[in-house]
């Protein structure tokens, strides 16, 4: 059987499963989510082993940034799903006297979830939680670059869903770029994509051919602003944690620092101290280092080229090990906006620093002149500065006096804006993303107001009274 035929069979099974109506039952969805929760716990060791093989993630990082977050989200969704799924009543108006309006939350149908390699479990399975909660069937396409994680996900889905519900409810399709291309040529009812901006454009173009709605979770250069009134030592600690988590291979990692010149030297000193505190003075020398590796040789070479081509001053790190695809956490000072490293999202453990003295001209102006970032981080003790920055710069989401941690909240939508993507998810936002919100007006038959009909005498006068 050809590959295309296999894909079409997978898609057809998903459509048939959806049309049998089982997923419309909220209790069925809750049961499936409980099984998902149990499956994650049952496969925890194997999933951690896969993350270790693909990215050298320590058990602590694997659990705290992937598996634990999934378990937490499933728990929240299970508790709230019955309430979310109920039709929502809305206010009426004088024109609709006697009627009541309701919004029904119905699944789109069969959804396609295409996920990246940097958080292969979280970014595949977190959207799946929302898809299941909303009553859809799903096809998952994990990244081929995280091959061990993709195989572990396939085993998890087979053990959790397929053995209980049969084929079609949730399917995993492994393969490379050609597989993604073949999937995108098929018609789905919704597409959820996480990845780079370039591929996001390809996904959107493919979806447009079928008028398929999409969510795009992309990336971009997320700025980290440290003002002169910041708690500099604490800022350094939180920045180092957020930047070098997963070796900087995080879509919301601080991409570069904009620091007030008055506190730049102090910040750099504390950044260096925190790197030693977290990773040791020689992070690459330990044979069994817990420093995550760069995903493959191509990305390693790209980062090495950025490092070698920089015109800035390396004040910390800069050491690489090609055989293990490791790069030490690196701080680069004296960077300008024209430096090569500022041309694209870094997606690695390189942290450039640009100093400023004028917030308006040297921070806000340059940032808003560039594509809207996925995240922004601001360190300052001034409420006035907070509101000024937040009102002037558009970005997907972010933190004041912290980094990356907005991702941990399942009560706030996570997503981008402009070039960093559109649409949001996590918790109820995931349920909303994977639901069509169908408006229904239920009209009374006990009476019929005549003023809307053209036969009513003085109808215009009555219409103007009600519609104002």
| Cα→Cα distances 22→102, 337, 425, Å | 23, 55, 24
Residue 407 token pair: 């991702």
Nearest one of 115, 125, 114 to 66, comparing CA atoms? 125
> Catalytic: which of 251, 316, 345, 399?
251
With contact defined as beta carbons under 8 Å apart, do 400 and 380 qualify? yes
Rounded CA separation 161/21 (Å): 17
Q: Is 18 helix (H, G, I), strand (E, B) or coil?
A: helix
E strand or H helix at 270: helix 264-279
CA-based nearest residue to 155, from 42, 264, 305: 42
Give, in order, the Cα–Cα distances in Å from 293 to each of 279, 284, 290, 349, 398: 13, 10, 9, 10, 26
Beta strands in 270-403 (DSSP E): 313-316, 320-321, 326-327, 330-333, 350-356, 375-379, 397-400
Q: What gap in Å lies between CA 357 and CA 443, rounded to an integer?
A: 63
Q: In what order do the strands lie in the sheet with 223-226?
A: 313-316, 330-333, 350-356, 256-260, 223-226, 375-379, 397-400
Residue 90 is classified by DSSP as: E
Strands (E), 134-288: 137-141, 170-172, 190-194, 214-217, 223-226, 256-260
Question: Cα angle vertex 336, ends 331, 341, to 5°?
Answer: 60
217 is catalytic: yes
Options 66, 73, 217, 345, the catalytic residue: 217
- Distant-in-sequence, close-in-space partners of 393: CB < 8 Å, separation ≥ 6: 364, 367, 368, 376
Q: Which residue, among 367, 171, 144, has the nearest Cα to 257 in the 3D structure? A: 367
> Is 322 a catalytic site residue?
no
Active-site residue numbers? 217, 251
């Amino acid at each position: 059987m050809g590959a295309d035929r296999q894909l079409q069979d997978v898609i057809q099974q998903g459509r048939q499963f959806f049309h049998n109506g089982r997923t419309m039952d909220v209790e069925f969805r809750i049961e499936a989510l409980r099984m998902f929760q149990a499956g994650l716990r049952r496969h925890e060791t194997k999933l951690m082993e896969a993350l270790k093989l693909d990215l050298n993630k320590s058990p602590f990082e694997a659990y705290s940034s992937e598996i634990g977050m999934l378990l937490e989200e499933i728990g929240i969704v299970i508790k709230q799903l019955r309430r979310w799924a109920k039709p929502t009543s809305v206010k009426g108006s004088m024109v609709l006297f006697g009627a009541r309006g309701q919004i029904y939350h119905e699944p789109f149908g069969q959804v396609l979830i295409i996920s990246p390699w940097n958080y292969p479990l979280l970014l595949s399975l977190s959207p799946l939680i929302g898809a299941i909660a909303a009553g859809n069937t799903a096809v998952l396409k994990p990244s081929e670059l995280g091959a061990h994680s993709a195989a572990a996900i396939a085993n998890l889905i087979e053990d959790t869903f397929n053995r209980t519900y049969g084929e079609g409810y949730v399917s995993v399709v492994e393969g490379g770029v050609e597989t993604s291309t073949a999937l995108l040529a098929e018609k789905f009812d919704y597409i959820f994509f996480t990845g780079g901006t370039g591929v996001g454009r390809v996904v959107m173009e493919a979806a447009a051919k079928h008028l398929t709605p999409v969510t795009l979770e992309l990336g971009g250069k997320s700025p980290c602003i440290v003002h002169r009134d910041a708690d500099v030592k604490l800022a350094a600690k939180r920045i180092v944690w957020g930047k070098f988590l997963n070796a900087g291979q995080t879509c919301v990692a601080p991409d570069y620092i904009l620091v007030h010149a008055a506190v730049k030297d102090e910040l750099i000193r504390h950044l260096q101290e925190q790197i030693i505190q977290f990773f040791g003075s020689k992070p690459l020398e330990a044979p069994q280092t817990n420093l995550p590796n760069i995903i493959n040789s191509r990305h390693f070479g790209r980062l090495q080229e950025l490092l070698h081509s920089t015109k800035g001053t390396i004040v910390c790190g800069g050491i690489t090990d090609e055989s293990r695809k490791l790069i030490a956490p690196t701080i680069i000072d004296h960077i300008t906006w024209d430096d090569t490293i500022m041309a694209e999202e870094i997606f690695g453990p390189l942290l450039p620093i640009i100093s400023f003295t004028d917030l308006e001209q040297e921070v806000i102006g340059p940032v808003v002149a560039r594509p809207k970032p996925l995240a922004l981080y601001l360190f300052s003790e001034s409420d006035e500065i907070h509101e000024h920055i937040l009102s002037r710069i558009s970005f997907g989401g972010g933190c004041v006096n912290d980094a990356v941690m907005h991702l941990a909240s399942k009560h706030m939508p996570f997503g981008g804006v402009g070039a960093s993507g559109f649409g949001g998810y996590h918790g109820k936002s995931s349920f909303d993303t994977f639901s069509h919100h169908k408006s229904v007006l239920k009209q009374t038959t006990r009476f019929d107001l005549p003023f809307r009909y053209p036969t009513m005498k003085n109808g215009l006068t009555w219409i103007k009274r009600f519609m104002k």
